[in-house]
A and B are shown apart, each in its own frame.
Chain A
Amino acid sequence: MSQTITIDPVTRLEGHGKITIQLNDQGEVADAHFHVTQVRGFERFCEGRPFYEMPALMARICGICPVSHLVASAKACEAIMSVRIPHTAAQLRRVLNLAQMVQSHSLSFFHLSSPDLLLGMESDPTKRHIFGVAAQNPELGRAGIALRRFGQRVIELLGSKRIHTGWVIPGGVTDPLTAANRDEILAMMPEAYSNVKLALAAYKQLASNFKQEIEVFANFPSMYLGLINEDDSIEFTDGTLRLIDEKGKTVEESITATQFPDLIGEAVEPYSYTKFVYYKPFGYPEGSYRVGPLARLNIVKKMGTPLAEPELAEFKQLANGPVESSFYYHHARLIEVLYGIERIEQILADPLILDKHVRATAGVNRLEGAGQSEAPRGTLHHHYKVDADGKMVWANLVVATGHNNNAMNKGVLQAAKAYVRNGKFTEGALNRVEAVIRTFDPCLSCSTHAFGQMPLAMTILSADGEVVDKVVR
């Protein structure tokens, strides 16, 4: 009899999700799906509210990457106001977004994924968490907590609150940076450098134990999308989007926020509250692509900071062309953490960084605006329409997890085929299927601005989808 294995909830993920694995009569994997199981409704309930409330409201989509929503939302609002924000405000936002990237990547690597890497995919599930890591390797556990603290503390020193700061507003930021706070950030640098170096060294050593996982963790050709600067260097806050194909050739050179809806579409599948994003000219699902750290490093030609530059060169050696295995998201993530720390240090050396002029003001000058930013896990797009009084009449959001949705589903199927054979599987095998999802660091919180919850569960379904049994792992 054909059956379905359900992993519910998928754990150590940022949100609520399930995985179902469908077996055929021979017990071989026939299909697999990743389900995001929550929906929220921001795109609708923001309507009727003043547009300048949007950054603070939209940030509540996600407590992990509120800053990226603040930035994309504020940029959409600034398109409506037709203003350019002061240089210092742009630089301060860049620091804020990088600090968030450092903390969120640290969370993803240390708190969510390092238990699999350090303790093993087959290790005791009751101890496979960050406290287990801290018990086994106190130095690594503490480095992870400290790196995340670094990012969060930078956010707090800029915006006076670690989560849901109200500091980013349409037109810039509310308050300038003080010299004392800048100096406190700079004083934290040495510890941050030593922790990220420790993490990179530990990852490179551990990665050699995961050859098979590297082979089957969403390891296939795809296109990649991410923000990039005109000089081909990495970018998180400004710049334009570049899309490259599976060979590394440029498909779209620079997509602006305004052009985005003409080129990027969203399809709905019945089994997930997160939509499936694709490049319109190639159709769905052929136009699917990946975003996030792996995509960004595949797209850029340089980092532009001294320590991250050789790391990028080493990363590019992993493949001839774009790096395809999603296992390498972990590697890319740590390189970006290093870059983030370096870049924050560089920006804080700008003599204008303490300038008091950090806000531009204007009213409604256009009835439509869009903004984009890179969230830690990938590209974020906010698109708003307002009436002449500045009240919201429509919004659409496209988030990282939507861009990666097709790749995550394909990846789950690839791993399930490798680890579930003849209807037989172990707890460790299912944990590997979950670990594929963890490489993407999907934010179920964000992806469920419309819907979503992301625990992983296992259920056995018949071929027609009836629940036959529930497997308790």
Chain B
Amino acid sequence: MSKLKLATAWLDGCSGCHMSFLDMDERLLELAEFVDLVYSPLVDLKDFPDQVDITLVEGAVASVDDEAKIKKIRAHTKMLIAIGDCAITGNVPSMRNPIGPEPILDRAYIENATLQPQIPCVVVPKLLKVVRPVHEFVEVDVFLPGCPPSADTFHTALTAIISGEPLDIPALTRFGA
């Protein structure tokens, strides 16, 4: 059997979901016998590959880069899994929504700057007006809640998906778990 292609992506999150994925510890090495990690902050490929079997996405969609990234990922992924509360509900990043991006930027780069106050605009991507969860931009196949979902949740879910077995998510995790 050829290995499945696995990708992980990080939008506007804290990387805690990725860390929890790594918390599978030695079980990662077992998993690596069934899947190849083809794209991820942990590997060097710079462009999302043409065809990926499973992609795990952490974080909400908060900038024009995030939006372009998630659309590209969706177009090249068979199964898209939203991992963690940020990807699923907007969670912490969406706390800025009632305020809007301008006051956020003003506070950080104008008011709380000692020198050269200015809003960065060179190379860095523009913020979207509101932060929204992944499924508001593209179709999501599986939702794995938690802040973050535990390593056991990752392991049980991925093992079931790889072996084609049924997946009972409410038995594994909940929001904020």
Q: Indicate whether A15 reaches chain B with its CB closer than 8 angstroms.
A: yes
Q: Indicate whether B167 reaches chain A with its CB closer than 8 angstroms.
A: no
| Distance in Å: Cβ of B42 to nearest Cβ of chain A | 6
Q: In the docked arrangement, what's the CA distance between A62 and B12, Å?
A: 11
| Distance in Å: Cβ of A129 to nearest Cβ of chain B | 4
With contacts A145-B25, A152-B23, A268-B113 taken as known, whether A130 is within 8 angstroms of B15 at the C-beta atoms is no
Q: Indicate whether A37 reaches chain B with its CB closer than 8 angstroms.
A: yes
Assess the A267–B148 pair: CB atoms within 8 A. Answer: no
Least CB separation from B19: chain A residue: A63
Assess the A41–B104 pair: CB atoms within 8 A. Answer: yes
**A457 — which chain B residues lie within 8 A by C-beta?**
46
**B92 — which chain A residues lie within 8 A by C-beta?**
57, 60
Assess the B47–A44 pair: CB atoms within 8 A. Answer: no
- Range of interface residues on A (Cβ < 8 Å): 35 or more
Q: Indicate whether B140 reaches chain A with its CB closer than 8 angstroms.
A: no
| Distance in Å: Cβ of B94 to nearest Cβ of chain A | 9
Q: In the docked arrangement, what's the CA distance between A241 and B100, Å?
A: 36
Q: Indicate whether B173 reaches chain A with its CB closer than 8 angstroms.
A: no
Assess the B95–A453 pair: CB atoms within 8 A. Answer: no
Assess the B14–A62 pair: CB atoms within 8 A. Answer: yes
Q: In the docked arrangement, what's the CA distance between A148 and B19, Å?
A: 10
Q: Indicate whether B171 reaches chain A with its CB closer than 8 angstroms.
A: no
Q: Indicate whether B142 reaches chain A with its CB closer than 8 angstroms.
A: no
With contacts A8-B46, A453-B63 taken as known, whether A266 is within 8 angstroms of B113 at the C-beta atoms is yes
Tell me which of A6, A128, A450 contacts B109 (CB under 8 A). Answer: A450
Assess the A473–B46 pair: CB atoms within 8 A. Answer: yes
Least CB separation from B148: chain A residue: A163
Tell me which of B15, B112, B124 contacts A271 (CB under 8 A). Answer: B124
Q: Indicate whether B75 reaches chain A with its CB closer than 8 angstroms.
A: no
Assess the A40–B46 pair: CB atoms within 8 A. Answer: no
| Distance in Å: Cβ of B116 to nearest Cβ of chain A | 5
| Residue from B15, B105, B109 having most chain A Cβ neighbours under 10 A | B15
Q: In chain A, residues 1-48, which have Cβ atoms closer than 8 Å to a Cβ of chain B? A: 6-9, 11-16, 18, 20, 33, 35-41, 43-45
Q: In the docked arrangement, what's the CA distance between A411 and B145, Å?
A: 40
| Residue from B23, B66, B124 having most chain A Cβ neighbours under 10 A | B124
**B46 — which chain A residues lie within 8 A by C-beta?**
7-9, 11, 455-458, 472-473
Q: In chain A, residues 257-291, which have Cβ atoms closer than 8 Å to a Cβ of chain B? A: 265-273, 275, 278, 280, 284
Assess the A129–B65 pair: CB atoms within 8 A. Answer: no
Assess the A45–B42 pair: CB atoms within 8 A. Answer: no
| Residue from B10, B16, B108, B113 having most chain A Cβ neighbours under 10 A | B108
With contacts A60-B14, A266-B112, A272-B120 taken as known, whether A40 is within 8 angstroms of B93 at the C-beta atoms is yes
Q: In the docked arrangement, what's the CA distance between A41 and B44, Å?
A: 29
**B95 — which chain A residues lie within 8 A by C-beta?**
41, 45
Least CB separation from A49: chain B residue: B95
Give 1 or 0 for each of B1-23: 1 = CB within 8 Å of chain A CB.
00000000010111111111011
Least CB separation from B18: chain A residue: A63
| Distance in Å: Cβ of B62 to nearest Cβ of chain A | 8
Q: In chain B, residues 72-104, which have Cβ atoms closer than 8 Å to a Cβ of chain A? A: 91-93, 95-96, 99, 101, 103-104
Q: In the docked arrangement, what's the CA distance between A297 and B172, Å?
A: 43
Q: Indicate whether B130 reaches chain A with its CB closer than 8 angstroms.
A: no
**A431 — which chain B residues lie within 8 A by C-beta?**
44
**A40 — which chain B residues lie within 8 A by C-beta?**
12, 62, 93, 96
Assess the B96–A44 pair: CB atoms within 8 A. Answer: yes
Q: Indicate whether A463 reaches chain B with its CB closer than 8 angstroms.
A: no
| Residue from A15, A111, A163, A445 having most chain B Cβ neighbours under 10 A | A163
With contacts A44-B108, A129-B43 taken as known, whether A145 is within 8 angstroms of B10 at the C-beta atoms is no
Q: In the docked arrangement, what's the CA distance between A43 and B107, Å?
A: 7
Assess the A270–B44 pair: CB atoms within 8 A. Answer: no
| Distance in Å: Cβ of B106 to nearest Cβ of chain A | 8
Q: Indicate whether A162 reaches chain B with its CB closer than 8 angstroms.
A: yes
Assess the A35–B42 pair: CB atoms within 8 A. Answer: no
Assess the B117–A268 pair: CB atoms within 8 A. Answer: yes
Least CB separation from A274: chain B residue: B120
Give 1 or 0 for each of B22-40: 1 = CB within 8 Å of chain A CB.
1101101100100001000
Q: In chain A, residues 51-68, which have Cβ atoms closer than 8 Å to a Cβ of chain B? A: 57, 60-64, 66
**A273 — which chain B residues lie within 8 A by C-beta?**
120, 124
Q: In the docked arrangement, what's the CA distance between A278 and B116, Å?
A: 13
Tell me which of B29, B41, B105, B112 contacts A13 (CB under 8 A). Answer: B41
Tell me which of A33, A45, A126 contacts B96 (CB under 8 A). Answer: A45
Q: In the docked arrangement, what's the CA distance between A459 and B164, Å?
A: 41
Q: Indicate whether B158 reaches chain A with its CB closer than 8 angstroms.
A: no
**B25 — which chain A residues lie within 8 A by C-beta?**
145-146, 148-149, 152
Q: Indicate whether B118 reaches chain A with its CB closer than 8 angstroms.
A: yes
Give 1 or 0 for each of B49-67: 1 = CB within 8 Å of chain A CB.
0000000000000110110
Least CB separation from B41: chain A residue: A11
Tell me which of A35, A38, A272 contacts B63 (CB under 8 A). Answer: A38
Least CB separation from A267: chain B residue: B115
Q: In the docked arrangement, what's the CA distance between A35 and B25, Å?
A: 31
**B20 — which chain A residues lie within 8 A by C-beta?**
63, 162-163
Assess the B125–A41 pair: CB atoms within 8 A. Answer: no
**B115 — which chain A residues lie within 8 A by C-beta?**
265-268, 278, 284
Q: A131-B37, A445-B14 are in contact. List 17 more A-B contacts (CB 8 A).
A: A15-B15, A39-B127, A43-B108, A45-B96, A60-B91, A63-B19, A131-B29, A152-B25, A164-B16, A269-B120, A270-B121, A273-B120, A278-B115, A450-B104, A453-B125, A455-B46, A465-B122
Interface residues of chain B, those whose CB is within 8 Å of chain A, are 10, 12-20, 22-23, 25-26, 28-29, 32, 37, 41-47, 62-63, 65-66, 91-93, 95-96, 99, 101, 103-105, 107-109, 112-118, 120-125, 127, 147-148, 150-151
**14 A-B residue pairs with CB within 8 Å:** A20-B123, A39-B105, A41-B107, A57-B92, A60-B92, A63-B19, A129-B42, A162-B151, A266-B113, A267-B114, A275-B113, A450-B108, A450-B109, A453-B65
